[in-house]
Amino acid sequence: MGSAFSTIRLEVDDHVATLTLNRPESRNALNVAMCGELLAATERLAADESVHVVLIRGEGPVFCAGADLKERQGMSTAELTARRVKGFMAYAAIERLPQAVISVVHGPAFGSGCEIAGASDFILASTEAKFRYPEVSWGTIGATQRLPRMVGTRMAKELLFTGRTFDAQEAKEIGLVNHVYAPDQLVAEAVAMARHIAAAAPLTVRLTKRCVDQGVETTREGAMAVELLAIEENLRNSDWKRAIAGFGSGAKQNA
């Protein structure tokens, strides 16, 4: 999967795509061009059934320092609103990817960086990673929807109101990050996990993701209906009999 992108890099190896934020000279700050390229890249990935897992990384020492504030200088209110909408569209496009999406945060992730990472299915972080939601400190509003769903409303309010920086270990303790690794182990651990997930039946991973994402937004009864529909779709489109037969033979071998 080649690309002509200028602010990101997109590579695919053995069913695992790596989408790298690639503006290291600007600490991978999110600008309008990157928003557009994230939309284009996610559209391409969503249509590629050979891609089973997507890793999101950052080039250079920083994952993403946030929005490109230099770009906003001189913007009118209408232009700034349009710029924020483009960012929201980019985050939503990552969130809507049908594949499993893992953000690999090796360094600072502030503002938009937190939103990009938060739009993935989960986050793996280095001990050198730092997180911050600085919007209130800048006199603006943001991150009010994904963050409470990840860490709960009370912790989200603290992080948003104070704009304080917190480390990877605290991020793990509050549920923002799944695992924390030493800097020299992070990428290897992320790739190993990605390959493990990629080896599973891609349809079942996609349907499981859909069930979780849709189920948490509805009632328990509605969520069960979502899961039953997914089970039915999986039965129609997968070789489940062969999988069960294989499980049975494996059980006998292990007995």
Q: Is 34 left (phi over 0), alpha (psi -120 to 50) or beta?
A: alpha
Catalytic residue among 49, 59, 79, 115: 115
98 close to 209: Cβ distance less than 8 angstroms: yes
| 43 labelled catalytic | no
Q: How far, CA to CA in Å, does 216 sit from each of 64, 143, 246? A: 28, 19, 32
40 close to 90: Cβ distance less than 8 angstroms: no
| 135 labelled catalytic | yes
107 close to 53: Cβ distance less than 8 angstroms: no
Could you tell me which of 45, 54, 40, 48 has the C-alpha nearest to residue 8?
40
**CB within 8 Å of 180: residues ≥ 6 apart:** 124, 125, 126, 127, 129, 168, 169, 171, 172
Catalytic residue among 135, 173, 221, 232: 135
Q: Which residues form the catalytic set?
A: 115, 135
